[in-house]
Amino acid sequence: MNSIIDMCHMMTTLSVVQMDILDKLHSVYPIVADIAHAQLTVYVKSSEVKNLLVISQIKPNTNFSQYRANNKLESQVRIAEEPLVWHTLSTGETLQGKREWAWGLMMDMYTYPIYDYYGKIIACVSFETNWKDLKIKGYNYLLETAYAIISNASFPIDYELYRSLSASDGIVITDKHSKITFANTAARSIYKVLGVGEMVGHHMFDREITMHIKKETTLVQRPHEKELEIGNLVLIQRSIPIYENQRLFRTVIIVSDVTELKKKEKELIIKSAVIQEIHHRVKNNLQTIASLLRLQSRRTNSPEVKAALKESVNRILSISVVHEFLSQQDAEIIDVVEVAKNILDLVMQNMLEPDFKLETKFKGETIILPSEHASSLALVMNELIQNSIEHGFIGCNEGVIGLNIVRESDNYLIDLYDNGTGLPETFQKHASKSLGLQIVRTLIEDDLGGTFELYSDKGTHARINIPRKMGGGR
């Protein structure tokens, strides 16, 4: 079955509105089970006489249990096997009893009714745990509060507000006057570090509790959450109000200690800033080297030396493009299309004749690669673009250089092409002694683990196939 509505539609006589209520309530069950420290199971009357249907079942994150109840999700249960559930469904009474989970293992079972908008009983929620093992003072009050979240839930459900807890989260419950009526061990431990003694009986705004707050920030996208800097701790405080008859009845406050997480985030921010600065300096150093080579090129009269230095300048600048991108962003990843555009601009500035008109075309999907592979691909593109401009348009005064990218399930297909004169008839890729092609072949086959081919088709096409696993991109 795909959903609670599907289950209920097939196996119950509930109305569409009643099914919708139960479907929406499912979103609050995880946090309710966590607060109750109990396995939560929701039963409805089956369309089969004397049967019950299990439509929801949640295990808590706050209480470990080796066993699980026999009644599984979507299973039909005879009412004789669940007398407490049947009695609550029939009368609306809240009951407490025992049930056997495994041979000789008895668990406490609490059953509560769930009503529709008109006060009609549509389901029963049961909580199963061993409260003596929990050693929680005031457990019945905690359980009552957990049920109150279900019985007073308002729609639409705020999923962020009702997200699950962890075993280390503190749970504080206050009454309508913000007086603390319950605090679990985790909450007391968190505040004990701050010098707060007994919490129960105090108000959340008492000076003893608030005096250590250095900074309080309400999270913009989560209005019920605050980030508190208290002493040396950083806490996230989530407030879940419970209303009865449109009046505040209680508030459940979840306190999460995120001090270590914030420290790690700060370390990552610092590390990211340092890495960006390194990339910035590498880029500057590469551009300095390129400038020195240009200066050397002007001082020589040899055409061969000038050409070799120009090629070297372009290779260095193609690598600097990657470092420039990395110096401007947090992540160590690169958009291949953006790199290709920048390299093409650089090569055009350095190699294109002033009267030559070059049109560029970029088509296809975005490829994001880690920086180490993007640098290799940048060098490859630089060599191929240089070759196109230098050899592909001899005798022409205009031309097109394009890039097509196809992202397949296991590979990236990159086609860099021009509409020039094409390859010579005698051209053999593996026999070529061109340094540029040797660089291209080595980087693609050895560094990127891909394949490379050159062929003529209304110009020249350089087709690169890179496995996604090797590229590490997305």
Q: Which pLDDT band, with edges at 50, 70 and 90, does 471 fall under? A: very low
Give pLDDT, residue 212: 63
* Confidence (pLDDT) at 66: 56
> If you count them, how many residues does the chain have?
474
Claim to verify: residue 187 and residue 312 sit in the same structural domain: no
Domain boundary among 230, 257, 284: 257
**How many structural domains is the chain composed of?**
3
Question: What's the CA gap between 419 and 466, in Å, rounded?
Answer: 24
Residue 246 domain-assigned (yes or no): yes
Q: Is 133 part of a structural domain of the chain?
A: yes
Beta-bridge partner residues of 239: 253
Same domain, 245 and 316: no
User: Is the pTM value of this prediction over 0.75?
Assistant: no
- Identify residue 91 by its one-letter amino acid code: T
Please tell me whether residues 79 and 8 are part of one structural domain. yes
195-211 residue pLDDT tens: 777 888 888 777 766 76
**Where residue 28 falls among pLDDT bands split at 50, 70, 90?**
very high
- pLDDT band at residue 65 using 50, 70 and 90 as cut-offs: low
Residues 182 and 270 grouped into a single domain:
no
**Same domain for 270 and 237:** no
Q: Using alpha carbons only, how large is the chain's radius of gyration in Å?
A: 34
The predicted pLDDT at position 409 comes to 80
Q: Which stretch, 45-49, 70-74, 223-227, 351-355, has highest mean pLDDT? A: 45-49
Q: Is the peptide bond before 241 cis (omega within 30 degrees of 0)?
A: no
Most confident of 116-120, 284-288, 350-354, 460-464: 116-120
**Closest C-alpha to 293, from 273, 311, 318, 319:** 311
Query: What's the pLDDT at 282?
Result: 83
Token pair of 364 as six digits: 């296809």
pLDDT value, residue 192: 83
**Based on the domain organization, do 329 and 226 belong to the same domain?**
no
pLDDT grade for 67, boundaries at 50, 70 and 90: low
Region 166-188 average pLDDT: 88
**Residue 333, phi then psi, degrees to nearest 5:** -135, 155
* Predicted confidence (pLDDT) at residue 428 exceeds the cutoff of 70: no
Phi, psi of 87 (to 5 degrees): -65, -40
**Statement: residue 279 has pLDDT above 90:** no
Residues 37-45 have a mean pLDDT of: 92
Instruction: Reply yes or no on whether the pLDDT at 71 is more than 60.
Output: no
Name the region of 158 (left: φ>0; alpha: ψ -120 to 50; beta: rest).
beta
Residue 356: inside a domain: yes
Question: Is a pLDDT exceeding 90 seen at residue 351?
Answer: no
Q: How confident is the model at residue 43 (pLDDT cuts 50, 70, 90)?
A: very high
Q: Which residue has the higher pLDDT, 458 or 216?
A: 458
Regarding predicted confidence, which is higher, 319 or 189?
189
Please check the confidence at residue 1 and state whether its pLDDT lies above 70: no
Match 């019920």 to its residue by tokens. Answer: 224
In this prediction, residue 470 has a pLDDT band, given cuts at 50, 70 and 90, of low
3-state SS track over 77-110: EEHHHCHHHHHHHHHCCCEEEEEEEECCEEEEEE
DSSP for 166-204 reads: -TT-EEEEEETT-BEEEE-HHHHHHHHTTT----TTSBT
In the predicted model, is pLDDT for residue 347 greater than 60? Answer: yes
Confidence of residue 389 (pLDDT cuts 50, 70, 90): confident
The counts of H helices and E strands in the chain are 14, 19
CATH number for 194: 3.30.450.20
CATH (domain of 70): 3.30.450.280
Amino acid, res. 193: V
Check residues 442 and 474 and name the one with the higher pLDDT. 442
267 and 127: one domain? no
Residue 162 lies in a domain: no
User: What was the pLDDT predicted at 35?
Assistant: 92
Q: Is the domain of 180 the same as that of 153?
A: no
Print the domain residue range for 223. 168-257
Last-in-domain residue among 157, 180, 215: 157
Does residue 163 belong to any structural domain of this protein? no
Is 446 a member of any domain?
Answer: yes
89 shares a domain with 133? yes
Pick the last residue of a domain from 239, 257, 275.
Answer: 257
Residue 219 has pLDDT above 70, yes or no: no
What does the pLDDT average to over 139-157? 87
Give the model's pLDDT for residue 454.
Answer: 85
Domain assignment present for residue 232? The answer is yes
Region of poorest pLDDT, from 87-101, 123-137, 340-354: 340-354
CA dist., res. 250 & res. 156, Å (int)? 20
Q: Are residues 286 and 429 in the same domain?
A: yes
Q: Are residues 300 and 244 in the same domain?
A: no
Task: Name the percent of the chain lying above pLDDT 70.
Answer: 88
**110 domain residue, yes or no:** yes
Same domain, yes or no, for 84 and 131?
Answer: yes
CATH of the domain at 277: 3.30.565.10
Q: Which pairing describes strands 357-364 and 398-407: parallel, antiparallel, or unpaired? A: parallel
pLDDT tens for 331-341 read 556 677 777 77
**pLDDT above 90 as % of the chain:** 18
